[in-house]
Chains A and B, each alone.
Chain A
């Protein structure tokens, strides 16, 4: 049942005492980094002043922008020689963000992922097919190491090549796979094509679905089609990647490992703390990271903590599904896209007016991004060939920028809803209405996150 029984079942009181002890250590270590050294002195904080978990609230937040400004070594607290690995965010806009890991960090991260997998029901006898991209992306290597540490046999197949994926699933009798939810749905088309029923003709029993926010409806579809437990995984590269929070078989939220992270939910506008049960921005503090501790990191992910205790007995609080993001990063087909990237491409074309709209839909199981561009009167002079050529050029440039091919629709003026005040640039039809509302209220315009 448990990978680390003592820790997983630790009474709240003891868990909080453990957090406090680790927090003090973390702050003492963090202050050695150029960024926190300066941030704390400006804030008037010394490690001694943090005596309770409530005192943590007096510390400044750390943002993605801070990580960018601190690029590459501003957050490092150990000698570079102690660093054994780095991971970086996609960094398609501006500077990438980098996270360094010491050997201890990798070991602890690996252990957390193993704990997650074990909780979900993965055992050493399992064959684990890792259908995620390897490399700078933390999802691939993170789960690879965790599954290996647990004792499963790992197939590091990576993403794509659907027919080979299916062949491996059968040939190696894969029982657990790690996969992007949208890809798991797309893969069903290939299953259909080759006449194999994933439910009957494979030994799959668990799918770890991460890296992409997805709805309960999608989970149900995946579970139904594959005949598996589709377990939701939450993580972000700044917090290692996967292994931050994971579902237990109760499927009533993701246990966030509070021996390794301090979890706060704050109102993204006022930054005031929110009680359990209320949706706000997830703020995390690392407790067991050596090379690059992060304090009060604003994840931009919106979620809530499920009140009450979990029937599984674990004391670590449960995070809801990610409801959206408080900033505007979009995840489309598993790729991070910022609306500003699209804007930059469009605005580089003199012929394109100011009005555009990014529409996100799910066409069947697959994300589809459509960019609507208003055709101005001036554009008509180029004739129909001119418009077609322009459209093709825009698609090509967008593809270069965002790494997948969007649809580009030329539309009549007025077909794009003009916002009063701040223009609506993104309409995401992939999320339940509740999330759209939430995003509007929070002033953001976009989507969730994953490892």
Chain B
């Protein structure tokens, strides 16, 4: 495995605040579809009456702008994106490495890029720079450019 540098581009997820009510999530996905932005992954952290929708998209900046323009509370958040092999134990290898280094993972999601070959792991961590360092040292591929350009 080869380590890949950040080269000025960082992975970002779009975080949107939503009230937990019918139609609100559809409103968000509608806005993004209208902008012809592709959603790679969606997760929701819910706290009863409201939640945070986390979106990995191909053009996060544009998605963020579009959502804000429509009056939604949206934020861009830097995350760590790693390329993994889509195989048994792949995620475990990464998490074990972070655990050994005492790095706490706040939130995570993943999606398969090419079944049986490539998966992308998105990690929200407290110290992003440290996480990148650990990932690099461990030889993981940090996969920002590819992620957003697909």
Whether A412 pairs with B72 at a CB distance below 8 angstroms is yes
Per the bound structure, the CA–CA distance linking A306 and B51 in Å amounts to: 53
Q: Judging by beta carbons under 8 Å apart, are A388 and B47 in contact?
A: yes
Residues of A within 8 A of B (CB): 374-381, 383-384, 387-388, 409-415
- Say how far A437's CB is from chain B's closest CB, in angstroms: 29
Interface size on B, residues (CB 8 A): 23
Interface of chain B residues 58 through 85 with chain A (CB within 8 A): 68, 71-75, 77
Within 8 A of A (CB), among B5-24: 15-19, 24
Also in contact, A377 and B73, with CB within 8 A (given A384-B45, A409-B49)? yes
B52's contact among A384, A409, A413, A414, by CB below 8 Å, is which?
Answer: A384
Q: List A contacts of B49 (CB < 8 A).
A: 409-410
Contact A377 B19 (CB under 8 A): no
* Known contacts A380-B75, A410-B49, then 15 further A-B pairs from the complex at CB < 8 Å, ordered by chain A residue: A374-B73, A376-B73, A377-B74, A380-B15, A380-B16, A383-B124, A384-B47, A387-B50, A387-B52, A388-B47, A409-B50, A410-B17, A410-B19, A410-B50, A412-B72
Residues of A within 8 A of B19 (CB): 410-412, 415
Contact B45 A383 (CB under 8 A): yes
Chain A neighbourhood of B24, CB < 8 A: 412
Chain A: which residue is nearest B48 at the CB level? A388
B contacts, CB < 8 Å to A: 15-19, 24, 45-47, 49-52, 68, 71-75, 77, 106-107, 124
Number of A-B contacts (CB under 8 A): 58
Q: Are A375 and B47 in contact (CB under 8 A)?
A: no
* List of A residues within 8 angstroms of B52 by Cβ: 380, 383-384, 387
How far is B71's CA from A414's CA once the two chains are assembled, in angstroms? 7
In whole Å, how far is B65's beta carbon from the nearest beta carbon of chain A?
11
Given contacts A375-B50, A380-B52, A387-B47, contact A412 B17 (CB under 8 A): yes
A380 touches B71 (CB 8 A): no
Chain A neighbourhood of B16, CB < 8 A? 380
The answer for the CA separation of A152 and B40 in the assembled complex, in Å, is 77
A379 touches B47 (CB 8 A): no
A388-B52 Cα distance, complex, nearest whole Å: 11
- CB contacts (< 8 Å) of A412 on chain B: these are 17-19, 24, 71-73
Residue of B nearest to A414 (CB): B71
Residues of A within 8 Å of B47, CB to CB, are: 384, 387-388
Tell me the bound Cα distance from A264 to B141 in angstroms.
82
| 8 A/B residue pairs, CB under 8 Å, sorted by A | A380-B15, A384-B45, A384-B46, A387-B17, A409-B50, A411-B50, A413-B71, A414-B71
Least Cβ–Cβ distance between A369 and chain B, in angstroms: 16
Give CA–CA (A351, B47) in the complex, Å. Answer: 18
Report how far A413 CA is from B45 CA in the complex, Å.
19
Question: What's the Cα separation between A377 and B17 when bound, in Å?
Answer: 8
